[in-house]
């Protein structure tokens, strides 16, 4: 007779995210993974202004005015979704 031991590890949910106005990451870091403390749905906010402009070909305020589906499509194309 074979017995299997199953162990469940409780993961702590992050309730506080890093402030994207203070903490910036390189594009590659945000594309390859979600750094600890980063809101995964808002990874684009952790880019510096110059990189943001290069990636999305527009300023942040223009991006924020876009409809949600358009923002999502642009984030997918930039591998930030």
Looking up residue 39, the CATH number of its domain turns out to be 1.10.950.10
Cα(49)–Cα(15) distance, rounded to whole angstroms?
26
The answer to whether residue 43 is domain-embedded is yes
Cα(26)–Cα(53) distance, rounded to whole angstroms?
13
The answer to whether residue 73 is domain-embedded is yes
The answer to whether residue 42 is domain-embedded is yes
The answer to whether residue 16 is domain-embedded is no
The answer to whether residue 51 is domain-embedded is yes
Return per-residue pLDDT of the chain as tens, 81 residues. Answer: 555 555 454 555 556 899 999 999 999 999 999 999 999 999 999 999 999 999 999 999 999 999 999 999 999 999 998
Number of domains composing the chain: 1
pLDDT score of 9 = 45
Range of the domain at 64: 27-77
34, two tokens: 């979600």
- The single-letter DSSP state of residue 5 is -
The answer to whether residue 10 is domain-embedded is no
């Amino acid at each position: 007779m074979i017995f299997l031991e199953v162990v469940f590890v409780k993961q702590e949910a992050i309730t506080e995210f890093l402030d994207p106005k203070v903490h910036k990451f390189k594009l590659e870091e945000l594309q390859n993974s979600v750094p600890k403390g980063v809101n995964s749905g808002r990874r684009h906010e952790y880019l510096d202004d110059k990189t943001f402009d290069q990636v999305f070909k527009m300023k942040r305020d223009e991006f924020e005015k876009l409809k949600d589906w358009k923002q999502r499509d642009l984030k997918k194309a930039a591998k930030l979704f």
